[in-house]
Amino acid sequence: MPLPSVPLLEPESSMEPESSTPPSSLWDQIFEFTAKARDAYKRRPIPYWILLILGIIAMLVAFPASSILSRVYYDNGGQSKWIISWVSVAGWPLTALILFPTYFVQRISPTPLSLKLALSYIFLGFLSAADNLMYAYAYAYLPASTASLVASSSLVFSALFGYLLVKNQINASIINSIVVITAGLTIIALDSSSDRYPGISDSQYIMGYVWDILGSALHGLIFALSELVFVKLVGRRSFIVVLEQQVMVSLFAFAFTTVGVLLSRDFQGMASEANNFKGGRAAYYLVIIWGAITFQLGVLGATAVVFLASTVLAGVLNAVRTPITSIAAVILLHDPMSGFKILSLLITVWGFGSFIYGSSMGEKSS
């Protein structure tokens, strides 16, 4: 059977009525949390925890690594936006290699592919290809630390589109997160004079910022439409179904992006880019290959965390990887880190926390 989506820590069952009195001290709260963690650990087999830990590591390492590699490509002589967007979906066979054996292991059949479902996958694939191209422009003109902070606005658009299209709940905490994250983006925009690489003009920086916002908005729309597909067309949501959607959407995004690369003749330009790459041809192709691998590992890790644990834990990890990417970019790429950017980072993390709290309250009420 497919692995169910359950909270990471479930409340202990008891025949006695629960007391509404909170723990009397911090040590009591720590003891209660430790007891729940120990109970949750005992209820799950070792392979469950191994897969969950691997998913967490993938989210916290692979996604930031993919962002850093995109900026490394441009820093060392890469020019093509189409190539970077193509790299984001070129690793889709990795997900397929995990999906296909799962059918045999769990002895289940693939989800029937109706015309409406196929058309929805094609449409989502087209949107995903466009989304990756927008982010490629963002990373071409913005520091990686800035691009990752601006991209966190996708959380705002996910909440808004989820409310409009899927009728997801929006409470005061989520509204607060939208306002706070928007404030963080405004602070980044005010610091444009000190937050750019040499050779980047004002118009290029503004273009990168705008493309990052548009890509985040489209990412939020894709997330809401994907949830709508589960509700309206598939009728169920499981680990297998999500992997199927990921494979199909990535496949069509790969097809659309490949057409774009062919029409722009950027495949022919890869040989010239490799020859002129600062680290040499080998370094160029390593950046391309590992960029494709790390992005897909991040996607697989996020899928595993959502269905082995909960969307709240995935939200926590998503919040954590934003400062990880920013700090890694400052250390590895020597990104500029002004007081404005630090303030924006702190405000963004606050907004994530508010969103996670609001989402957890929504899950409990439902």
Give the model confidence (pLDDT) of 282-307 as tens digits: 999 999 999 999 999 988 888 888 77
Confidence of residue 1 (pLDDT cuts 50, 70, 90): very low
**The model's pTM:** 0.81
Give the DSSP letter of residue 90.
Answer: H
pLDDT band at 356 (very low <50, low <70, confident <90, very high): confident
Judged against a pLDDT cut of 90, whether residue 326 lies above it is answered with: no
Higher pLDDT, 37 or 352: 352
> Coil, strand or helix: which one is 165?
helix
Tell me phi and psi for residue 337, to 5 degrees. -130, 90
φ, ψ of residue 244 to 5 degrees: the values are -60, -45
Asked if residue 292 is part of any domain, the answer here is: yes
10 falls within a domain: no
User: According to the model, what pLDDT value does residue 87 have?
Assistant: 95
pLDDT at residue 192 tops 70: no
Q: pLDDT tens, 240-275?
A: 888 888 899 999 999 999 999 999 999 999 999 999
In a domain, 342, yes or no: yes
pLDDT at site 306 = 72
Domain that includes residue 162, residue range = 48-363
Asked if the structure places residue 354 within a domain, the reply is: yes
Domains of the chain: total: 1
Q: Is residue 189 part of a domain?
A: yes
How far apart CA 63 and CA 86 sit, in angstroms, is: 16
Whether the predicted pLDDT of 5 surpasses 50: no
pLDDT value at residue 364: 58
Q: How far apart are CA 156 and CA 161, in angstroms?
A: 9
**Is residue 2 included in any domain, yes or no?**
no
Q: Is residue 18 part of a domain?
A: no
State both tokens at 89.
Answer: 């979906």
In a domain, 25, yes or no: no
